Amino acid sequence: MYINTVISEKKNLYVKYWLLLITFLVALMIIVGGLTRLTDSGLSITQWNLISGIFPPFTLDSWQKSFDLYKKIPEFRLINPNMTLEEFKTIYWWEYSHRLLGRIIGISYLIPLVFFTIKKNINKELFFPLYFIFLLILLQGFIGWYMVQSGLIEKTDVSHYRLALHLILAFFIYIFLLWILLKLNNKKDQIEQKKLRFLPIFFFLCIIIQIIFGAFVSGLDAGQIYQSWPLMGNTYFPDDSNLKDLFSSNSLNIPSIVQFIHRNIAYFLFIVFLFILVIVFQKDEYKYLRKITLLVFFSLILQMLLGILTILSSANLVISSFHQIGSIILVTTSLVLIFKNSNIN
C-alpha cells in the first residue's frame, strides 16, 4: 500500500513539473509576443509554413527571398521603404522566435499529454481540462496567423481586434494552466472561513477587460499619442476628441479614446481593490486572505506605475515590456486570491 502511494505521488509530481514548465513557457510566449509587437516585427514573416517554417533562412539567397516577400506588403512600401536586409533580419528574428516558441509549446504539451494519458497518470477530473487546453493551443496558432493576415494586404499593421483576441486567448491558456496547478498543489482548508463572495472574481474580470484594452492601445499605437499624465494634453479628456466620440460606434478605433478608456479602467481597478483591501483588513474572518491581498495590491500599484512610465516614455521598449510582464504578475496574484477565497469550506 505504501509503495503504491509513493508511485502515485511520483506520477503526480511528473504531471505537476510538466504543467509548471508549460505555464512558464506560455508566460514567456506572452512576453515575447509583446516584444514582437513593440518592435513592429509581427509582419516580417509573410507566410505560414507549419513544418518548413521551423527552419530560418540559412543562406544569403534564402534571406533575400524572405526579404522580397516582405517588400510586397504595405508595411514595407509605406513605412519601411528604405529598410536594409540587415534591418529586416532583426525584425525577422523576433517574429521567428515568437513562432518557434509557439511550436515548442505545442510539442512540449502534446507529447507528454499523450504519454501521461497512456500511462494513466492523468485522473478523470483533469482529463477534459487538459485536452481542452490543447485545443486552445491549436486555436491560438490559427488565431495568430489570422491576426498576421490582417496586416498583409491593405493595412500597414495588424487589426487591433485580432491582436486583442490573440493576446486574451494566450492569457486564458495561462489562467487555465495556473488554476490546475493551484488545484494540484493545494488541499482544501478544513477551517471554517468566510468568503468574499463575488468581489475577487469581479476584480479579475475587470483585469481581463483591461488587458483587452491594453491590446487595443498597443495595436493602435495609442500609447504614443499622449505622453502626459494625469492629463491627456491640457485636459483630463483627450483634447483631440470630444465626448460624443466616447459613445460613438467608432470609439474603439480612435486611439486617444482607447487610451482614455484604458487609463480610466486602471483607476476603477484601483478603487475596486481598495474596497477589497479595506474589507479584508477590517474583519478578522478574512485574516487568511491578508497576505495574498497585499501581494495583489502591490502588483496593482507596480502595474499602474509601469503604465504611467510607459506613457511618459512614449512607449519605451524596455518599460513597455515590463508593463506586459506586470500584467502577468497581476493576473497570477489575483488568480491565487480567487483560489484561496474559494478553497475553503
Q: Model confidence over 264-299: pLDDT tens digits?
A: 999 999 999 999 999 999 988 888 899 999 999 999
Q: Do 53 and 91 fall into the same domain?
A: yes
Whether 28 and 159 share a structural domain? yes
Domain membership flag for residue 181: no
For residue 6, the model assigns a pLDDT of 41
The one-letter code for the residue type at 49 is N
Query: Which pTM value belongs to this model?
Result: 0.92
**Residue 3 in this model has a pLDDT that exceeds 50:** no
Which domain-ending residue is among 156, 175, 194?
175
Contacts of 24 (CB under 8 A, 6+ apart): none
Bigger pLDDT: 125 vs 186: 125
On the CB side of 274, how many CA atoms lie within 13 Å of its CA? 7
Confidence of residue 2 (pLDDT cuts 50, 70, 90): very low
Task: Give the per-residue pLDDT at 19.
Answer: 96
Number of domains into which the chain is organized? 2
> Would you say residue 106 lies in a domain?
yes
* DSSP secondary structure string for all residues of 153-168: SS-SS--HHHHHHHHH
Residue 105: predicted pLDDT: 96
CA 43 to chain centre: 19
pLDDT at 193: 65
Out of 149, 175, 201, pick the residue that ends a domain: 175
| Residues spanned by the domain of 20 | 1-175
pLDDT tens digits, 66-101: 999 999 989 988 888 999 999 999 999 999 999 999
pLDDT exceeds 80 at position 109: yes
Both 204 and 239 in one domain: the answer is yes
- Regarding whether 309 and 171 lie in a shared domain, the answer is no
Which whole number is the average pLDDT over 1-16?
A: 60
Boundary-marking domain end, from 131, 147, 175: 175
Whether 220 and 248 map to the same domain: the answer is yes
Res 266: pLDDT? 97
C-alpha span between 201 and 194 (Å, rounded): 15
Mean pLDDT of 41-47: 88
Asked if the structure places residue 180 within a domain, the reply is: no
Q: Which three cell numbers stand for residue 169?
A: 486567448
Residues 250 and 164 in one domain: no
272, 326: one domain: yes
What confidence category does residue 12 fall into, taking pLDDT thresholds of 50, 70 and 90? Answer: confident
Q: Which amino acid is at 172?
A: F
310 lies in some domain: yes
The mean predicted confidence, pLDDT, of the chain is 89
